[in-house]
Every structure is written in C-alpha cells, then in structure tokens.
Amino acid sequence: MKVAFIGLGNMGGGMAANLVKAGHEVRAFDLSPEALDRAKDNGCAVFGTVQEAVADAEAVVSMLPNGAIVDAVYGADVIGHAPKGALFLDCSTIDVDTARKVTKAAESAGYEMVDAPVSGGIAAANGGTLTFMVGGTDNAFARAEPILAAMGKAVIHAGASGAGQAAKICNNMLLGASMIATCETFKLAEKLGLDLQTFYDISSKASGQNWSMTSYCPVPGVGPQSPADNGYQGGFAAALMLKDLKLAMEAAASVDAIVPMGEKAASLYEAFARYGSGGMDFSGIIKTL
C-alpha cells in the first residue's frame, strides 16, 4: 500500500521503517530535516508538506505529540487532501475527546479512522514489537489491522472510537504507579540489607512480581537489559509518562473516578520532571527515592 507517515520522532521513525520492511510504499513527513534524512535512509520517500505526503496515500499513519497537533494536522492538511476512501490511523497518545472529534470529522468527509496508541517504547518501535490498542468501527479495524501488524506484535480492538486512547491511558496509569512501587521496594530492600539480585530472584517468582520488575527492572545489573543499565537513557521518557498520567487524571475527572494511586504517581512524576529529569527514562525516578 501507499502509506503516508506523519511524525518521525523517536517512535515514528522506527515504525515507518518497519512499514517499508513489510513492503509498503511509505511517504514520510516531519518538521525535522534530520528525521526526514533518517526516513530516507530507511527507504521512505520524503515530502516537504503533509498535504504532499498524503496526496496519493491509501492510508495515513500519524505519530504526533499531543491532541491539539493531531486536531490541527488532520483538520488542515489530511482531511480533504488524502484521496476519498483512505484509511486514517492515529497512533499518538491523546485525550479521548479529541480522538473522537477528529474521527467524527474524518467520517463526515468520507474516510474511516482508528485511534491506535501504542505500548512498548523506542526499542519496540524499532523492533516491530509494539502493542496497539485500537478504537474504531469493526470495518475500520479490519482495514487497519494488517498495517498495524507490520509494526507490532499485538493488535487489539478495544472498542468504538476513543477506546484505544482510553485503554492506553488506563494502562499507563497502572504502569506509572507500579514502577514507583517497584522502585520504592528495591530501595527499601537495599536499606534493610538485602542483596538486590537475591531480592529480585525471590520477588520475581512471588506474589509481588510485575512487569516493571521482571521486564524493565529499575536497578542496574538486575533482571533483563533495561534503560537502568544505560544510565536511564532511552526507553520511555519521564516527560511522556507525565503526559500520559495527566491525560489519565483529566479522564478520571471527566467521569468522577477516584484514582488516588494515579494522582500520587502523577504528582511524583511532575516533581521528577520539574527538576530537569523529564528526558530520563521513567524508571529513573528510583534515583529520587
């Protein structure tokens, strides 16, 4: 397929490259010349504007920083500029209301659209092992699934429009809170005199086992390779975790949900980012505990 890819940052660059590897003709756009150069090296055709990139596309994939940008890009440069009948796949993490608003506008103009935020981080984006949580109609999901499968290991239909975003923010609220609890636990174990590898060997096989411990351990040299082994660089930036936690808090307020653990996680990541650590991997919050 001819696939336009809008947004070639840390996540989007690897995702676009995997579409090329799967045999798609990728038409790439980003505001960064460096990102466009990397996309070109990865086999993408590059364009100077969004409108040029989407002009002949059968599908448009976007990976953008926030809901306001998604709304603006689709409203000004994608809807009405991509061929009628093209499929839109927004893989950004944004608020549910904006996802539904943009999808409604697309559908009104004769397009199908899914919201398909991702879980997995930069390594998974580069390796093609992302998990996609997809909101949209059954027909739109059926069209989107083979495109998303070229970039991920799991593509799950979460429900109607906006459901992908709802699943993503709920998942990342849980991740943020569990990472902090995991960090606290390792620091407590250390202060109580436990060897941290020994504690990992015990807890990873006991009832305290969780993903933040066994797949993404925040302690250097313990568990599988993780950003902790690289000075907490790479992976999933704390600033992005904070963004997702804020989206979760907004969503919780909109439906009168009580989320005290989520609120505490958001406040701790806000303090972490405020002191200049927003670019560090989110597991680096262990350094503050």
- 134: three-class secondary structure by DSSP: strand
Report the alpha-carbon distance of residue 165 to residue 158 in Å, rounded. 9
Residue 35 CA from chain centroid, whole number = 18
* Contacts with 219 (C-beta within 8 Å, 6 or more apart), sequence order: 186, 196, 200, 228, 286
Percentages helix, strand, coil for the chain (3-state, rounded to 5) are 55, 15, 30
Distances (CA, A) of 109 to 68, 115, 178, 250: 20, 17, 42, 29
Find, among 166, 162, 117, the residue nearest to 135 by Cα.
162
Nearest to 81 by CA among 101, 108, 61, 52: 52
Catalytic residue positions? 168
The Cα 279–Cα 265 span in angstroms is: 17
- Which residues lie across from 118 on neighbouring strands? 132
